[in-house]
Amino acid sequence: ATMEQSFIMIKPDGVQRGLVGEIIARFEKKGFTLKGLRLMQIEKSFAEKHYADLSAKPFFGGLVEYVTSGPVVAMVWEGKGVVETGRKIIGATNPAASAPGTIRGDFAIDVGRNVIHGSDSVDNAKKEIALWFPDGVVDWQKSVHPWIYE
């Protein structure tokens, strides 16, 4: 049985600002397992699909422009509770409200430049992983598994 997976994406500002290694390190050190990793620049239509639920929002156009403005790092992370814990690691949507110690709390100021995306439910994670990794992810297990899970 596959453990829970989340779709995590470092947005163009995070890539431009050199935060890729720092962000990956946080998920890696927590104990989660990297199952997929792609550096890619997405097109408008793809961004609109990813953010389809927000298409009626006034900030939708700006959001699509921002997320297509440079390369992003798309990832699949796996582990027990990774969707909910991933959201905690990332912090609140608006960095002004994100606690210090979270990625957005430590590295972002404006909501429209909040560095990173993380799936908000297991269901949405499945949809996002299917969209961003149509060829699937890498099937492997960490040898340290028994040192992370009881």
Name the one range near ligand DAT by CB under 6 A: 15-23, 110-118, 121-129, 141-149: 110-118
Task: Tell me whether residue 59 or residue 140 sits nearer to ligand DAT (CB atom).
Answer: 59
Q: Which does 63 bind (CB under 5 to 8 A by kind): Mg ion, ligand DAT, none?
A: ligand DAT
Reduce the secondary structure of the chain to three states and give it as a string.
CCCCEEEEEECHHHHHCCCHHHHHHHHHHHCCEEEEEEEECCCHHHHHHHCHHHCCCCCHHHHHHHHCCCCEEEEEEECCCHHHHHHHHHCCCCHHHCCECEHHHHHCCCHHHCCEEECCCHHHHHHHHHHHCCCCCCCCCCCCHHHHCC
145 is annotated as an active-site residue? no
Q: Which of 32, 83, 95, 117 is catalytic?
A: 117
Using CB under 6 A as the binding rule, the residues of this chain from 74 to 93 that contact ligand DAT are 93
Q: Which does 75 bind (CB under 5 to 8 A by kind): ligand DAT, Mg ion, none?
A: none
Least Cβ distance, residue 135 to ligand DAT (angstroms): 25
Q: Which does 39 bind (CB under 5 to 8 A by kind): ligand DAT, Mg ion, none?
A: none
Q: Please tell me the distance from the alpha carbon of residue 43 to that of residue 68, in angstroms, as a whole number.
A: 6
Residue among 120, 127, 131, 142 that touches ligand DAT (CB under 6 A)? 120
Q: Please tell me the distance from the alpha carbon of residue 8 to that of residue 85, in angstroms, as a whole number.
A: 12
Q: Which residues bind ligand DAT (CB under 6 A)?
A: 54, 59, 63, 93, 111-112, 114, 117, 120
Q: Which residues are catalytic?
A: 117
